[in-house]
Amino acid sequence: MKKRYMGLMKINNTIIRVAITVVLICFTILSFIYINPEHSEKNISASVRKQYVTDKKEIEWIENHPTIKIGYTEKNLPFCDKDESGNLTGMLKDITGDIFRNIYMEDRINFEFQSFSSSADMQNALVEGKIDAAFPFVYDRENYEKIGVSESQEIIKVPVALIFKGDYRDTLFDKIAITPRPVQRFCVDNLFPDSDVVNVKTGEDCLRAVQSGKATCTIITNVRLNPLFAKFDFSEFKLLPVDADISYCIGTKDEELRDIINIGLGTLDKPYISNVMYSYVDSDLSYSFLDFIKKYYLTITLIFVIVVGGIVFLITRENIKNRRILAETEERLKIINTLDQDYISIFVVNTKTEIAEALKLEGTVSVGSGNKKKSFPYKQVCEKYISVCVHPGDSAALAESIKLKNVTGELSERKQYIGTYRVMKNKETMYFQYRFVRIPDTDYIIAGFKDINEIMQKEKSQKKLLEDALEMAETANNAKSVFLFNMSHDIRTPMNAIIGFTDLLHKHLDEREKAENYINKIKVSSDFLLSLINNVLEMARIESGKMTLNETCWNINKFYSMVFSVFETQIEEKNIDFITKIDIEHTDIMIDETKAREIFINIISNAVKYTPAGGKITVEITELPAEIIGQALYRTIITDNGIGMSADFLPHLFEEFEREHTSTESKVSGTGLGMPIVKKLVELMNGKINVDSQPGAGTRFIVELPHHFVWRDSQEVRNDTDVSDDFSITGLRILLAEDNELNAEIGITILEEAGFVVEHAKDGLECCNMLEKASDNYYSLILMDIQMPNMNGYEAVRKIRAMNNSKKSSIPVIAVTANAFEEDRKNAFDAGMNGHISKPIKTELLLSELKKVLKRDIFI
């Protein structure tokens, strides 16, 4: 079998490739020209069309089989396949209709087409009687007789080509690459039965197998060969025609149906069937064929000129141009209709005739022949649209922008021309966009109009957000600058005093009166500096949202008495008339004592500072009804006759770092944070604050805070009492856990001067070890720093509370820490501590807390 092809290899391979290419192009062009309904009719012999099915058996068969089930294989164009809607397409669809139409049986028979994924599945369905006929069948009568299948007469023959690389050789047929298609398997089994088969999925894979050397050759029919020309460089392949054309037919188990089909096939001319087949080849190659032309431009150009020269007289230049324009226009309109559904109106405009054709008006784009289209003079429709719909402020500009000469001028430099304008719709202003796109090499442009109001509104909203964000950033930047300026001034002022008086103190240590004066001024400046730091930290905590309410029971008379007592010394020194008026029914309330005290201390502190000597301050406390049952509204009015504030400054009173006069101007120290803190604390407690003031006439603050009241017999009301002075602390031993040597020295000195015996641990771990080694009751109390190396204060107190010795595990522990916020106090108590003192240490508060805890521990 191999030797029969030896002589054929002397044929020039280049001539073969050119010849095949010419044949394919001719088939394509002839199919384009001749395949249409008119040619179908003309290629049917008039005498044959008059034939009828006269055999009695055949007529009875048709009467008993009004529906014929025909099977076909999927993805098998040009023979058969499914289209996008799942319906049959390919030459089977056309030939089936022609067979029964030409013998006048079309209206007496219904067809049901059933698809199969493989030829084997289709053949099994036919043998089992699930379908009446099947296509395509490779003509192989001997094989089909074995399974009881009858073949129709031959429908079409397809040439077969052998493709390989290099020169012809004895081993050419050793490995043949084939796909699962039965045609290739049929060729191998009948022509090359001794060859090894390399199974691949597609025709492309067959050529790749030959390229890579996995296979020595492949066999492909010419209808499968066409798509491969555009994807492969066939200069590296050689094509050898095989003397074995493949015949295709329809298979059936019913002889009557076979005879009927044969009669119908006899009405069809072979050229007509070829044209039908190649029309589907062409439709499947609409894009790849262009790619093929690009790839082999020089060769194809020469062949194309020769072939087209023979048919150029049959087709006029104008018809070619019109078809191209129509195809390009419809293609672009399909794209617009698919991608730009938001365009409410689309027109195609002829720039020469100045006629606009409406393709979309608040609906779907209309494309293709047979659709009704509306045409208008472009200028007329633009003028009417502008006069009726467009905003008066944009009418003139839009009219000028969309003049046809201006549009064509813009499109001569770019592919599209876009602009925006406003329209009036239901007395509302809305934004629209026009878009003009040119169709290359034609006199047509596409004009689209769409509603972009939502987009513009979003852009405006985003722009407003950006402007607001910019304004906030600038405000924050200004506030930062003000903050740095104020903090620089306010921190340097007390620090200057502290440093200056410290230097003077060194020089005058022997002069007791001067030394005491300097010490007092250092203390005042230190207190102010601490207040400034506390206020800044407090403000930062409030703004971070970490602050929460921690309410306990308090007697309101006791609360206000505690607040007023803070200012007794200052009031006496300035001889201020301080008057209080209290009208309250429920005296026991739930209140966050720390935050409420900070509110009123800040307000009263300002009243005392800014009221001159001999002035007057009045505090009125009144209980009012509240909306919530079990609550009362407590209104506190604080009035002074001090320096007051201007009307211009009042709106900025609660802004951070804002002061009407600096401490340099007013001679009164302040941070500009007190009132913002008050405002935020009042809001945190669901209250309200208002202020009235006039320069030189004084200021009035009105604070309203809601509180739940409690009954005396329902809950113990807090009533802190001072530790009596008769409690002796002399000789009691304290263990001080402090990692900072300077702080430890200060603490030891204060405690020893008060009468305590002090031992020092440098961290929490050392503190626990010293307590474990000591005897019971050796230490009376532990002062515990929080932030320490090795083991912090929280871990240390937990370890102490877990000791097996009950006397040691219950020893009083007081936190002494720079963590001075309310949650720090809570964390200390939650860890198991008995008290909390914040740094910097004030001797009086330290000793008071020590006595309180020690006395409670002793008497408990």
Angle at which helix 255-266 crosses helix 91-102, to 10 degrees, equals 90
User: Which has the higher per-residue pLDDT, 485 or 508?
Assistant: 508
Tokens in use for 36? 């249409």
Rounded CA separation 93/73 (Å): 13
Residue 568 burial class via C-beta count within 10 angstroms: exposed 0-12, middle 13-18, buried 19 and up: exposed
Distance CA 232, CA 248 (A): 28
Q: Give the tens place of pLDDT for each residue, 656-690.
A: 656 555 444 444 455 567 788 888 889 888 999 99
What are the helix (H) ranges across 714-842? 741-754, 764-773, 793-801, 806-809, 822-831
More confident residue, 328 or 65: 65
The 10s digit of each residue's pLDDT in 573-623 is 899 999 999 999 888 888 888 788 888 888 988 899 889 999 999 999 999
- Rounded to an integer, the average pLDDT of 629-655 is 87
Lowest model confidence (mean pLDDT) among 383-392, 491-500, 549-558, 618-627 = 491-500
Query: How far is Cα 738 from Cα 759, in angstroms, rounded to an integer?
Result: 11
- Percentage of the chain surpassing pLDDT 90? 16
- Judge whether 373 and 358 are in contact, CB under 8 Å: yes
Beta-ladder partners of 617 = 578, 640
**Would you put residue 334 in left (φ > 0), alpha (ψ -120 to 50) or beta?**
alpha
More confident residue, 739 or 368: 739
40-62 pLDDT per residue, tens: 443 444 344 444 455 677 777 87
pLDDT for the residue 718: 47
The set of residues, in sequence order, having a beta carbon less than 8 Å from that of 411 and lying 6+ positions away, is 417, 436, 437, 438, 445
Between CA 644 and CA 697 the distance in angstroms is 6
Residue 87 phi/psi, 5-degree rounding, is: -95, 160
Give yes or no for a contact between 245 and 299, defined as CB atoms under 8 angstroms apart.
no
Torsion angle (degrees, nearest 10) of CA 369, 374, 375, 378:
-130
Which band of pLDDT confidence, cut at 50, 70 and 90, is reported for residue 784? very high
* 448 vs 360: CA distance, rounded Å: 9
User: Which 8-state DSSP code applies to residue 297?
Assistant: H
- DSSP run (H or E) holding 494: helix 453-507
Question: How does DSSP classify residue 731?
Answer: T
Across the range 770-785, mean pLDDT stands at: 93
Backbone angles phi, psi at 52, to 5 degrees: -125, 160
| CB 345, CB 374: distance < 8 Å | no
DSSP summary character for residue 841: P
Task: Read off the tokens for 486.
Answer: 């104020």
438: tokens are: 């040119």
Sign of CA dihedral 820, 823, 826, 828: negative
Q: How far apart are CA 567 and CA 559, in angstroms?
A: 14
- Distance CA(413)–CA(409), nearest Å, equals 7
Calculate Rg over the CA atoms of the chain. Answer: 51
720 class by beta-carbon count within 10 Å (0-12 exposed, 13-18 middle, 19+ buried) = exposed
HSE-up (13 A, CA, CB side) for residue 233:
4
Alpha carbons 167 and 174: distance in angstroms, whole number: 14
Q: How confident is the model at residue 313 (pLDDT cuts 50, 70, 90)?
A: low
Per DSSP bridges, beta strands 217-221 and 577-583 are unpaired
Least confident among 294-298, 754-758, 768-772, 801-805 = 294-298
DSSP letter assigned to residue 358: E
Burial class (CB in 10 A: 0-12, 13-18, 19+), 155: buried
Angle of the 222-229 helix axis to the 288-295 helix axis, nearest 10: 60
Residue 360: the pLDDT is 76
**CA–CA gap between residue 840 and residue 817 (Å, rounded):** 8
| pLDDT at 490 > cutoff 80 | no
Token match 């025909």: residue?
70
Q: Give the model's pLDDT for residue 39.
A: 39
For tokens 């084939």, the residue is 178
pLDDT in tens, 518-544: 888 787 777 767 766 766 666 666 665
What mean pLDDT, rounded, does the chain reach?
A: 78
Most confident of 172-181, 344-353, 630-639: 630-639
Lowest mean pLDDT among 495-504, 520-529, 803-812: 520-529
With a CB cutoff of 8 Å and minimum separation 6, the contacts of 482 are 657, 658
d(CA 204, CA 209): 9
State yes or no: pLDDT of 1 exceeds 80.
no
Is the pLDDT at 714 greater than 60? The verdict is no
Cα 329 from chain centre: 37
**DSSP single-letter state for residue 832:** T
**Token code pair at residue 464:** 């407003």
- Over residues 55-74, the mean pLDDT reads 81
- Candidate from 21-35, 105-119, 211-225, 338-352 with smallest mean pLDDT: 21-35
Beta strand 175-178 pairing with 110-116 = unpaired
- Lowest mean pLDDT across 249-253, 494-498, 628-632: 494-498
Indicate the Cα dihedral angle 498, 504, 508, 513, nearest 10°: -50
Q: Residue 366 carries which DSSP code?
A: P
How does strand 813-817 pair with strand 835-838? parallel
Do residues 398 and 421 lie in contact, with contact meaning Cβ atoms separated by under 8 Å?
yes
Q: Reply yes or no: is the peptide bond before residue 193 cis, omega within 30 of 0.
A: no
What letter represents residue 641's amino acid? N
Distance CA 817, CA 796 (A): 14
Residue 467 has pLDDT above 80, yes or no: yes
Mean predicted confidence (pLDDT) in 839-855: 82
Q: Does 850 score more than 50 pLDDT?
A: yes
Report the candidate in 764, 735, 767 with the shortest Cα–Cα distance to residue 748.
735
The pLDDT value recorded for residue 300 is: 65
> What is the four-CA torsion angle of 447, 449, 450, 452, rounded to 10 degrees?
110
Report d(CA 810, CA 574) in Å as an integer.
Answer: 48
Taking 60 as the threshold, does the pLDDT of residue 455 lie above it? yes
Reading the block at residue 840, the tokens are 């910097």
> Is the torsion defined by CA of 309, 314, 317, 320 positive or negative?
negative
Given this model, what pLDDT does residue 702 score?
94
Q: Which two tokens stand for residue 558?
A: 């006791």
For residue 833, which of 811, 857, 859, 802 has the smallest C-alpha distance? 811
Residue reference for tokens 């001539």? 15
Determine contact, residues 529/494, Cβ cutoff 8 Å. yes
- Start-to-end Cα distance in the chain: 118
Token pair 């200060």 is at which residue? 746
User: What is the rounded distance in angstroms from the CA atom of residue 186 to the CA atom of residue 207?
Assistant: 19
Q: How far apart are CA 345 and CA 382, in angstroms?
A: 13
Interior angle at CA 518, CA 512 and CA 524, nearest 5: 135
Q: Is the peptide bond before 136 cis (omega within 30 degrees of 0)?
A: yes
If we measure between CA atoms, which residue out of 706, 757, 750 comes closest to residue 846?
Answer: 750
Q: Which of 506-515, 755-764, 800-809 has the lowest mean pLDDT?
A: 506-515
Provide the pLDDT confidence category of residue 760 given band limits of 50, 70 and 90: very high
> Cα(438)–Cα(396) distance, rounded to whole angstroms?
24
Q: What are the Cα distances from residue 453, in Å, to 364, 421, 447, 761? A: 21, 10, 19, 73
Section 745-749 average pLDDT: 89
Give the sheet arrangement for strand 688-694, strand by strand.
Answer: 577-583, 616-625, 631-640, 698-708, 688-694
For position 446, what pLDDT does the model report? 85
